[in-house]
Structures are given as structure tokens and as C-alpha cells.
Structure 1
Amino acid sequence: MMHDREIRIRLSNIQHAVGQAAHHLSAERNLTGELRDTIQKLDRRSDDISEMLVSEDYADVPKLVHDMELLGARARRVCASERMQVTPEMKAAVNHMHRELFDFKQHLH
């Protein structure tokens, strides 16, 4: 079982990674709606992390991280598709975000 301190650190890391992806999203010009929609959903879910950090109630962390990891995997697939023209920075941000989510999900189970 993870300690609260480690959960807080990992959630903060995820928030930062999602924020970076959202930042790069705003600089992208030729994105499909699917990638834009997925990153925006992740950004909204990141708000749930803020609420958890404030309340220090981590009961829903496994579900939240699972849901976000699925969205992160979807964003990664869209970025990797050959029809998608994204900057290397956007790809790197999405890959980093997904790695953070996937790694945390693995540690929760």
C-alpha cells in the first residue's frame, strides 16, 4: 500500500504532465478533434486530482488513475497514428503523461 505522501507526489506529477500536454496542445495547429478532446478530458480530470489533494481523500485514486490512463493511452495512439501530424514536443508530452499514469496505475495494483 502506498503512503499518502507518495500518492500526493505522484498525483502532482500527473497534474504537471497533463498540464504540459495541455500547454503543447494550445500550440498545435493541425490537430484532429479526437486528440484535442482527449487532452481536454484529461485536463478536466486533473481538476479532480486538485480536489483530492485538498481534501486528502484518496479513496477514488485507483478509479481516477485507471480512467485517466485509458485516456492517456488513447491520446498516445492518436499521436502515433501516421495520419496525425503533431510536433515532437507534443508527442513527448503525451508519452510522458501516459508513462506517469501507467506507472502509477501499476503501483496501485
Structure 2
Amino acid sequence: MMQSSEIQQRFNHIEQTVRQMSQACQSSPNIPSDLKQCITELDQQTGQAKQVIQSQNEQQIIQCVDSLEDLGDRAKAACEQAGNLNQNVRDAVMQAHQELSDLKHNLH
């Protein structure tokens, strides 16, 4: 397992990325509802996950990151299905998905 300080640092970066994604979504008028829902859930879950990350409970952290990565997968799929999507939103979703996937793979 990664060092807790490294997990915390990477998670803080993910949290910033998700926040940026959420802001990009809010400032863009033509976001499909399924993508908005995924982004909202991801934003909420990321906020709740902070406590789990700080708990340093390895199993809970892995489950939490797995759950976040699943939401990232859903957001990515919704993004790919959306036709004419703001590039900032698309980039933010893809970046958040990649960071979550990387963290998940490093934890397993």
C-alpha cells in the first residue's frame, strides 16, 4: 500500500480536480443531465471520502477509491456519449477519471 501521506496528497489533488470539473459543469449551459448527475455525485462523494482517507484504514480507503473510480467511469462514459460538449468540461472529466484510475491501480 502507498504511504498515507502520498495517498493524502494525491487525494487532495483529485479533490481539486473534481471541484474544477464541477465548476466547469456549472458554468457550461449544455450539460446532459446524466453527466451533471455523475459530476454532482462525484463532488459529494469526494467530500465525504476525505474523512475515510484521513482514517488511514486501508480497506476502507480502497473501497472508497474504488467507488469514486466507478463514478469517474460513469462520468467519462456520459461525457463520451454527449455530442457537443464544452471542451473544458470534457477535459476536466477526463482528467478526474484518469487521476482516480491511477490512484485505484496504485492501491491494488
TM-score for the superposition, normalised by structure 1: 0.90
Aligned CA-pair RMSD: 1.3
Match of 2:90 in 1: 91
Q: 8 Å contact 1:42–1:68 — kept in the other structure?
A: yes
Structure 1: unaligned runs, 5 residues or longer? none
SS of aligned partner of 1:84: coil
Preserved contact between residue 32 and residue 84 of structure 1 (Cα < 8 Å): no
Structure 1 residue ranges, 4+ long, deviating more than 3 angstroms after superposition: none
CA distance in 1, matches of 2:43, 2:90: 16
SS in 2 for 1:30: coil
8 A Cα contact 2:52 2:64, kept in partner:
no
SS of residue in 1 equivalent to 2:55: coil
What TM-score, normalized by structure 2, do the two folds share?
A: 0.91
Structure 2, unpaired ranges of 5+: none
1: CA distance, partners of 2:102 / 2:19: 18
Whole-angstrom distance in 1 between the partners of 2:33 and 2:56: 32
Deviation at 1:46, TM superposition (A): 1.2
Identity score, percent = 27
